[in-house]
Amino acid sequence: MKTRQSRRQTAKVSHSRWVAYATASAATAFAGSNSAEAAIHYSGFVGEKFADSHKIKAFQLDQPGDSLVFAHNWFGSPNSAASFFNRGILSAGVRGTGTDYDVYVSRLSRGQSIAAGHFTYASITHPAGMAGAGPSQRWNDPGVGFVGFRFNSGAGIQYGWARVRMAGAGRANAFKLIDYTYAEPGEAIRAGEGIPRAGEDMSNEQGPDEGSLGGLALGAVGLLAWRKSRSRNARAPQ
């Protein structure tokens, strides 16, 4: 009887050690995954609405002096306008076209390279048009699009995107800033890269859903699986 009991105890100890090793391995892998994803900075769900009023609001990037600025000039439907510009400590630019006095934001689709296009300067006195009357109609149609931008705070050029949902010209060009992301200096990024898996569907603007959070409740192993799925999505060819 003593021999059998000893064997059962040995088996239990071995299983406990195996669980401990697996947990430690998962934690190590998670740390590596977290480090690999550190090059992309995701805002999380923003959900800022611009509608039925004059409104201008800045959203800080890595530090004071670097920011995104969206504006809505309300004159009633369909004459209201949406515009954008960004700031950088050394320099900044928006993905778009135009002259020194007429600048327009390009409406990018998911998967487009942010860096591979023309950038122009925009400011509070000469913002880049998104939606409105005249040539500024790239964003007049309802739906989701991406604004591309770059900035330099002294460490080199950084690229990023902002995801925007437009209500349409029939609804006074109201819009919502869903979220935004930027990469480290010198790192390439595509429109939509870095969005958590639960936010892939353009109709889902809430970020990780309850199912994902349920996975996180499983501990390091569940968290690792969730982060790996995010990483695969971010690196998938577009």
Whether the pLDDT of residue 76 is over 60: the answer is yes
pLDDT tens for each residue of 191-212: 999 998 765 554 444 433 323 3
Q: Which helix (H) or strand (E) holds 181?
A: strand 175-183
Q: Judging by beta carbons within 10 Å of its beta carbon (0-12, 13-18, 19+), is residue 27 exposed, middle or buried?
A: middle
Q: What is the DSSP letter of 190?
A: B
Span 107-124, average pLDDT: 95
| Residue-by-residue DSSP string for 107-161 | -BPTT-BSSSS-EE---SSSPEEEESSTT--TT-SSEEEEEEEEEESSS-EEEEE
CB 133 within 8 A of CB 81: yes
Highest mean pLDDT among 5-9, 13-17, 104-108, 233-237: 104-108
pLDDT-derived band of residue 214, with 50, 70 and 90 as boundaries? very low
Helices 220-235, 2-36: crossing angle, 10 deg rounding: 30
Question: DSSP H helical segments within the chain, as ranges?
Answer: 2-36, 210-216, 220-235
Spatial CA neighbour of 157 closest among 135, 194, 183, 175? 183
pLDDT of residue 223: 36
Candidate from 39-53, 186-200, 208-222 with smallest mean pLDDT: 208-222
Omega prior to 185 cis, within 30 of 0: no
Tokens 């009023």 appear where?
53
Its sign, for the CA torsion 80, 86, 92, 93, is negative
DSSP annotation of 52 reads S
pLDDT above 90 for 228: no
**Distance, CA of 75 to chain centre:** 30
Distance CA 141, CA 92 (A): 27
Q: What torsion do the CA atoms of 80, 59, 46, 215 make, to the nearest 10 degrees?
A: 160
pTM score, whole prediction: 0.69
